[in-house]
Amino acid sequence: MLRRLKNRFEDSLLLFWTYLIILVGLMLLFSASRGVVSRESLFLKQFSWLLVGTVLIGFVKNIDYRDIKKLAPMLYAVTLGLLLFVLFFGKSGGASRWIRIGWFNFQPSEFAKLIFIITLSAYFSGRDVKRLPAFAGGLIITAIPFLFILKQPDLGTALMFIIIFFAVLYRAGGKKSHIFFLLFSGVLMSPVFWLIMKDYQKDRILTFLNPMRDPLGRGYNLIQSIITIGSGGFWGKGYLRGTQTRLAFLPEYHTDFIFCVLAEEFGFLGVIALLALYYMFFKTVINILSSTRDRFAGLLGTGILAMFVSHVFINLGMTMGLFPVVGIPLPFISYGGSSLIVSLVSVMLLVNIKEHSLMF
């Protein structure tokens, strides 16, 4: 009885941290959208997607995650079909593509990350990943969506598949020699990757190394991002008082660079508070993973955790000039319906794992 109550508490705790971070995101969007976009436009759309996602996770909660494992091959096939479809018929916007459904921009690459995690976890859960055939099969499962998304082109999202693959492979007990071989091969192949990169992707890396090479062009976003973060100081300028976003000096302030809005308006203290929220969220996820003895559940949760951690790490890093700008959203905070819905469904899968862990 006590254990069941503890599980219920941890389930509620994960949802509590999730919706608290989402609340922070809505506040920042309300402030950020006071620039060149009307205040109601972005805020109300994001709130609408939050309602849709909340209703959706109510259905996910009633599905046993082990039933989702059985659907993995079908979900993977449908996802590949959508990624292929969007290459030919999807609408292009910067470095990503989507399918327009009414007022909703459906971005298959966001959903592909979660489906990939489910598929890879299901595949590895029934195999000895130390054996070369199983290891090679995992590489194939990773390579196909990776190449489709890279072709869009969306290098940032494509790289997420590699990060998730390594995390799930490590949790599955993959051989260190296989992991080191892949890392070493990646280093050796880096000149080839450079040759096949699009010009704008090369410019992003060169701009990352030296933003002042084109301060009014390619380097403008990064320079303004760093200026915005620094302008907040220790205490911040105050909520709704950020000048960089209000005067639209900072591009993409509602998506890739929304962290800068927080840093400008709430300063160093606000940044620490947000990092504390993410820490508590990750800590709760780790507690859930440590409580299950089901192999598939452990791999699935590890992949989801890797997705969230890498999103936060890369997004914050690129806004501060530590990584190239690759268009990775900040989980639960950046504007975008596809990203928010996928994140909420991922959280509910973790809750689902926790609720059924008592059976193992």
**pLDDT > 70? residue 6:** no
Lowest mean pLDDT, pick from 48-57, 138-147, 232-241, 292-301: 232-241
Tokens of 278: 């993410």
Tokens of 216: 């009014």
* Residue 25 banded pLDDT, cuts 50, 70, 90: very high
Q: At what angle do helices 337-356 and 2-32 cross, to 10 degrees?
A: 170
Mean pLDDT value across residues 25-32: 88
Q: Looking at residue 240, what is its pLDDT?
A: 81
Integer Cα distance of 239 and 245 in angstroms: 12
Tokens of 358: 């008592």
By the 10 Å C-beta count (0-12 exposed, 13-18 middle, 19+ buried), 306 is classed as buried
My answer on whether omega of the bond before 251 falls inside 30° of 0, hence cis, is no
**pLDDT > 80? residue 21:** yes
Lowest mean pLDDT, pick from 68-72, 198-202, 235-239, 245-249: 245-249
Integer Cα distance of 251 and 80 in angstroms: 32
**Mean of pLDDT over the chain:** 85
Per DSSP, the three-state class of 17 is helix
Integer Cα distance of 195 and 179 in angstroms: 25
How do the domains of the chain map onto residue ranges?
A: 2-359
pLDDT per residue as tens digits for the range 207-254: 777 776 666 667 777 888 888 888 888 888 888 887 776 666 677 778
Integer Cα distance of 83 and 75 in angstroms: 12
Q: Looking at residue 247, what is its pLDDT?
A: 65
Integer Cα distance of 22 and 24 in angstroms: 5
- Where would I find the beta strands (DSSP E) of the chain? 91-93, 96-101, 104-106
**pLDDT > 90? residue 336:** no
Tokens of 257: 């660079």
Mean pLDDT value across residues 338-360: 83
Integer Cα distance of 251 and 109 in angstroms: 23
Q: Looking at residue 203, what is its pLDDT?
A: 73
Contact 49, 63 (CB under 8 A): no
**pLDDT > 90? residue 23:** yes
Integer Cα distance of 156 and 149 in angstroms: 9
Contact 343, 57 (CB under 8 A): no
Q: Looking at residue 357, what is its pLDDT?
A: 59
Contact 314, 305 (CB under 8 A): no
What pTM, to 2 d.p., does this model score? 0.91
Contact 354, 10 (CB under 8 A): yes
